[in-house]
Structure 1
Amino acid sequence: MKAVHFGAGNIGRGFIGKLLSDANVAVTFADVDEPLVDQLSHDQSYKVKVVGSECKIDTVTHVTAVNSASQDVIEQIIHTDMVTTAVGPNVLDIIAKTIATGLTHRFESGNNNPLNIIACENMVRGTTHLKEQVYTHLNAIYHAQADELVGFVDSAVDRIVPPSEAANDPLEVTVESFSEWIVDKQQFRGDIPAIEGMETTDNLMAFVERKLFTLNTGHIITAYLGALKGHETVRDAIEDCEIREQVKAAMQESGEVLIRRYGFDRDMHNAYIEKILGRFANPYLRDEIDRVGRQPIRKLGANDRLIKPLLGTIEYGTENGTLLKGIAAAFKYTNDIDPQAIELQTSLKENGLCETLAKYTGLDAESSEAKQIETLYQAL
């Protein structure tokens, strides 16, 4: 079995690329970073440092790479069995045209084998979004053929992959031992491939929101509260007892939405929260606050990790005081090299908190939640 994986960065190599390779899938990475592509093509292997209760080094082998802006990636799509991505939500729209071109050549070559495409991104229904973008670039004469032969499979992914510290080996990547890759089994075309570490479900949104409302919500609130207190890493912040207590409370508030919406067992979900807190405190991971906190505008979006759980608490009439504080802390986040952080702070200076809040989150500037966030913001 063969796969083309867009994105040869740390997440691509350390998470999805590794799982595919471990399952004896021949992986071709596609990326625009020419030196990275050259080295992967030359070495055809790389090391992954897996850290949990202990450290171990795994070697991923039988991989190669092509430039995602070249004709080579089109040739790969013609003959591959699977396409996966780990490029970040903003880049999906860019690679959609490449995938559409690859599908066109695949159909014109007479390849009528099923192809499954899975966007492994931190976004809700990312593959469905990718499909919409691909179809805008795919000639309408091929839409019916694509509907029949191409599965656009939504997924939920979870693994902390911080920047690697192996200065002598640019291909080495560090990952935590925990990983979760859950896919919507109803969206596949042809047989579902047996890949250890890829779980199937017919209720994907329950797992998408469990991860978004727990790992992502907790992670970002840890970062923003940690930044306010001058902590450099997520571990430093979560070991601050005051921050840990507030992060846990926020995840319990978002968790109440999940329990009511999907019927999750309360004790099991509380155990999941404790597992997440333990992951944040992993002594082998140096996860920088600024890596987690960057792109605050995206993370304040209506369907993302802060506002979506808040909207759930409003829907069910449940507690949300700590989530509101986390949102207030997001507006305090500064980063002189992050365009989104700069834009957010500029808007705050020019327009004030409530107008900025409404602009980027969609919350009503006159709502009680907006007023509470403003009060918390001024108190931070």
Structure 2
Amino acid sequence: MKAVIIGAGKIGRGLIAGICQMNGIGYSFIENDGMLTAQMQKERQYLLHVLERRERVISMKTAEIWSLEDTEAAERAILDADLIFTAVGGKHLGEVGEYLGERLEHILTERSCSRPLNIIVHENWKYTERDLHEGIRKILSPEKRELFEEIVGINMALSMGLSVEPPDEESKKTEPLGIWMQDRWNIFVNKALWKGDLPKIKGVGFVDHFLQLQNQALYTNNASSAVISYLGRRKGYQYVAEAARDPEIERIVDEAYQEIETALIRQLHVFPKDQREFARQAREKYRDERIHDTVVRHARDPIRKLGPEERLLAPARMAMASGIRPTALAAGIAAALYYEDENDPSACELKHLREEKGISAVLQEICGLEEGCELEKLILEQVQNLFCQDKKMTE
């Protein structure tokens, strides 16, 4: 079995390459960053630091890595592959879809119909399969589209661990390609969308009720990381683990887990035991001080994360529909509404909209709330609480 990994960042050369290596799956990379490509071609190997009770170090070979511009090499690799993984960031999926569409247009007829190709999309993005699928079909000719639908499967992947790049300046100098990751070697894939026989790959689990799992991940893991990060940013924390261990933030996040649990049990009918385990793992993950994951990384793109079907608003609305007031989630939303980072275009746009039209307009236009609804009132209460807390901190 062979794989192509599109994106040689911390997930690509960390979790995904690690799973390939442990299963004896040959793999190569396709990468957009010219400097990273050149560095990996030069170094040829790097270390994967697995953070368990005692750190375990795995030596990783970079194998072959191609730039996006080397289309002939990419097409040869894809033609020979059984699996394609993407780890590029959700907002780039449309572009990656078009890139794959161009490659598949040239090589699809050379693949045997009895040899399917499965694309595993490892992105923290709600519409992964849709965006990639539309990008590919946009490029393919009508004839190739039919063949594409027959032999190519597109699947979203979920994983519960965190991976980061070198945690300090010394490590950056000595191990610029090194990856530090939690000891969680699991990728969950939608069983129903897989093309062909299910392979036995250690670390890859094929799930029947994937949509429920996806929602649990978005509304538990992603919601809690957002609450931690937006509140942590206001307190000046740099790392997620620091913010998660702040007593006041910890209390709010624990309350948010309870609100999410009630909402998902009553609205999505998840099993209480499973949901509590989800929350336990999320709490443990974000409090792990060995993982130097930044608040800014988790908080970036606040306009998307404040969307009506996204990680904060969706569970808050479900909680309201379940008869509870999601005060903790509302506190996270309030902090997100006032998130600022001059290096984040989304945060700058949010600030402009807030100053130009007012916070109620943001709640209606970005969050999709009706003017005067109970959730809007609750969020505005939490906005006032934030300002009161800020005032106390400066006194």
Q: Which residues of 2 match residues 183-262 of structure 1 at below 5 A?
A: 183-262=189-268
- 1:101 match: 102
> Number of residues paired by the alignment?
380
CA distance in 2, matches of 1:143, 1:101: 12
197-206 vs 303-312, greater mean Cα deviation: 303-312
Q: TM-score, normalised by structure 1?
A: 0.94
How far is the alpha carbon of 1:6 from its aligned partner?
A: 1.0
How far is the alpha carbon of 1:36 from its aligned partner?
A: 1.5
How far is the alpha carbon of 1:65 from its aligned partner?
A: 0.9
How far is the alpha carbon of 1:222 from its aligned partner?
A: 0.5
Q: TM-score, normalised by structure 2?
A: 0.91
CA distance in 1, matches of 2:200, 2:267: 30
262-271 vs 354-363, greater mean Cα deviation: 262-271
CA distance in 1, matches of 2:130, 2:186: 20
CA distance in 2, matches of 1:366, 1:179: 46
Instruction: Give the % identical residues.
Output: 27
Q: Cα–Cα, structure 1 residues 365 and 18, in superposed 2: closer, same or farther, change >3 Å? A: farther
Task: Tell me if structure 2 keeps the 8 A contact 1:156–1:182.
Answer: yes
CA distance in 2, matches of 1:290, 1:307: 20
Task: Tell me if structure 2 keeps the 8 A contact 1:212–1:305.
Answer: yes
2:51 counterpart of 1:45: no
Q: Cα–Cα, structure 1 residues 227 and 110, in superposed 2: closer, same or farther, change >3 Å? A: closer
Deviation per residue, 1:63-82 (Å, 9 max, x gap): 22111233122222222111
Task: Tell me if structure 2 keeps the 8 A contact 1:92–1:130.
Answer: yes
Deviation per residue, 1:317-361 (Å, 9 max, x gap): 334121111111101211121111111111111111010122222
What amino acid is aligned across from residue 103 of structure 1 in structure 2? L
Task: Tell me if structure 1 keeps the 8 A contact 2:51–2:183.
Answer: yes
23-32 vs 55-64, greater mean Cα deviation: 55-64
Q: Cα–Cα, structure 1 residues 311 and 106, in superposed 2: closer, same or farther, change >3 Å? A: farther
Task: Tell me if structure 2 keeps the 8 A contact 1:354–1:371.
Answer: no
- 1:76 match: 77
- 2:390 match: none
Q: Which residues of 2 match residues 9-48 of structure 1 at below 5 A?
A: 9-48=9-48
Mark the runs of 5 or more structure 2 residues left unpaired by the alignment.
Answer: 387-395
CA distance in 2, matches of 1:272, 1:158: 9
Deviation per residue, 1:210-263 (Å, 9 max, x gap): 111111111110111111222222121121111111101112211222223444
Q: Cα–Cα, structure 1 residues 95 and 69, in superposed 2: closer, same or farther, change >3 Å? A: farther
Task: Tell me if structure 2 keeps the 8 A contact 1:75–1:102.
Answer: no
Task: Tell me if structure 1 keeps the 8 A contact 2:19–2:185.
Answer: no
Task: Tell me if structure 2 keeps the 8 A contact 1:162–1:174.
Answer: yes
2:134 counterpart of 1:132: yes
What amino acid is aligned across from residue 235 of structure 1 in structure 2? A
Q: Cα–Cα, structure 1 residues 359 and 179, in superposed 2: closer, same or farther, change >3 Å? A: farther
How far is the alpha carbon of 1:187 from its aligned partner?
A: 0.9
- 2:153 match: 151
Of 334, 339, 342, the residue aligned with 2:340 is 334
What amino acid is aligned across from residue 34 of structure 2 in structure 1? E
Indicate the SS of the match to 2:308. Answer: coil
Indicate the SS of the match to 1:133. Answer: helix
Task: Tell me if structure 1 keeps the 8 A contact 2:158–2:188.
Answer: yes
216-225 vs 271-280, greater mean Cα deviation: 271-280
CA distance in 2, matches of 1:197, 1:252: 30
- 2:58 match: 58
RMSD: 1.8
What amino acid is aligned across from residue 58 of structure 2 in structure 1? D
4-13 vs 67-76, greater mean Cα deviation: 67-76
Task: Tell me if structure 2 keeps the 8 A contact 1:74–1:98.
Answer: no
- 1:92 match: 93
Task: Tell me if structure 1 keeps the 8 A contact 2:10–2:179.
Answer: yes
Q: Cα–Cα, structure 1 residues 79 and 105, in superposed 2: closer, same or farther, change >3 Å? A: farther
Mark the runs of 5 or more structure 1 residues left unpaired by the alignment.
Answer: none
What amino acid is aligned across from residue 29 of structure 1 in structure 2? F
CA distance in 1, matches of 2:12, 2:371: 39
- 1:164 match: 166
How far is the alpha carbon of 1:110 from its aligned partner?
A: 4.6
CA distance in 2, matches of 1:369, 1:175: 37
How far is the alpha carbon of 1:169 from its aligned partner?
A: 2.0
255-264 vs 175-184, greater mean Cα deviation: 255-264
Which 4+ stretches in 1 moved above 6 angstroms?
Answer: none
Of 292, 304, 307, the residue aligned with 1:286 is 292
Indicate the SS of the match to 1:361. Answer: coil
- 1:369 match: 375
